[in-house]
Amino acid sequence: MPELPEVETIASGLWPMLAEQAIENVTILNDTSVEGDRTALEEFVAGREITHVHRRGKLLLMDLSIPQKYKDKLPVPRSEYPLQLAFHLKMSGRLFVYPEGTPPAKHTRIIFDLSNGNRLFFDDMRKFGFCRALAPCDYLNWQFWQQLGPEPLVIKTDAFVSLFHSRRTRIKAALLDQKVIAGIGNIYADESLFRAGIRPDTPSNEISKKNLGLLHVKLKEVLKQAIRECGSSIRDYRDAHGDAGAFQNNFLVYGRSGQDCRVCGEPLKTEKVAGRTTVYCEQCQK
């Protein structure tokens, strides 16, 4: 599943291609790829200009304008009007811009026809991903949105330490919990814990505040490096231009079970934490 660096990379790649473009038409090819109010997506998004593309946690967000013709007389109350499109890519979701007239592919689930003639496809082979049109009321009613934790690249280190120091949950499980901190998945949890020298199965409240502060520093380092290298491509992930990421070439532990640690030379160990395969070094992560 694309994590924070992958979604950030996709958003920054899409924005130059979508800036100042209006969505002329929305075609839904698969009902389960829409979450929330289908009418809001199918009928009330057409005519809206895309004013920004960015990220929240693992969600890719497209901000929408209010069409001039509706500013004085809306077909529905403005409080119900979509302000954003939220995409969760899940396991295999992709967003690509294609030239005018490009037919949908086998796994295309939603088509957005743009004012310059191009077409934005939401493709999703496994059908786990979704698009949701967000109106102001949805931010209060959508439980997933309401429960998202703070952003790891934004939260201050003192607040990060306080967030984790009172929890009994194993530290990797806490990092994976989107209600605790948003955007972190298996890859970047393993990599940041290794760099901080913390075993992934350690209860959070047994880690010193000093080491939790170090973990936040290393987590930000890992995320920023992964963003610079356009994310990690293991199977399906490609950026907005169809290119693979490169951070997988710098993994120190993730996916390297049984191989020698690149720091101390000892074989890396594997266990399950929070139901996820976890790779760590017994020597480097005390």
Instruction: List the strands of the sheet with 59-64, edge to edge.
Output: 93-98, 119-124, 108-114, 22-28, 48-56, 59-64, 84-88, 130-134
Asked if 25 and 41 count as a contact pair (C-beta separation under 8 A), the reply is no
Tell me, yes or no, if 16 is annotated catalytic: no
Pairwise CA distance, residues 286 & 281, whole Å: 8
Tell me, yes or no, if 58 is annotated catalytic: yes
Nearest to 189 by CA among 169, 162, 159: 169
Q: Which of 48, 55, 58, 132 is catalytic?
A: 58
Q: Which of 56, 90, 127, 276 is catalytic?
A: 276
Tell me, yes or no, if 3 is annotated catalytic: yes
Residue 190 identity:
D
SS3 56: strand
Phi/psi of residue 159, each to 5°? -70, -40
Tell me, yes or no, if 43 is annotated catalytic: no
Q: Which of 3, 6, 8, 191 is catalytic?
A: 3
The residues that bridge with 233 in the sheet, in sequence order, are none
- For the chain, the distance separating the N- and C-terminal CA atoms, rounded to the nearest angstrom, is 29
Determine whether 64 is exposed, middle or buried from the number of CB atoms within 10 Å of its CB (0-12, 13-18, 19+). Answer: buried
Q: Which of 2, 5, 82, 200 is catalytic?
A: 2
DSSP 112-160: EEETTS-EEEEEESSS--EEEEEPHHHHHH-HHHHT----TTTS-HHHH
Catalytic positions, written as ranges: 2-3, 58, 276
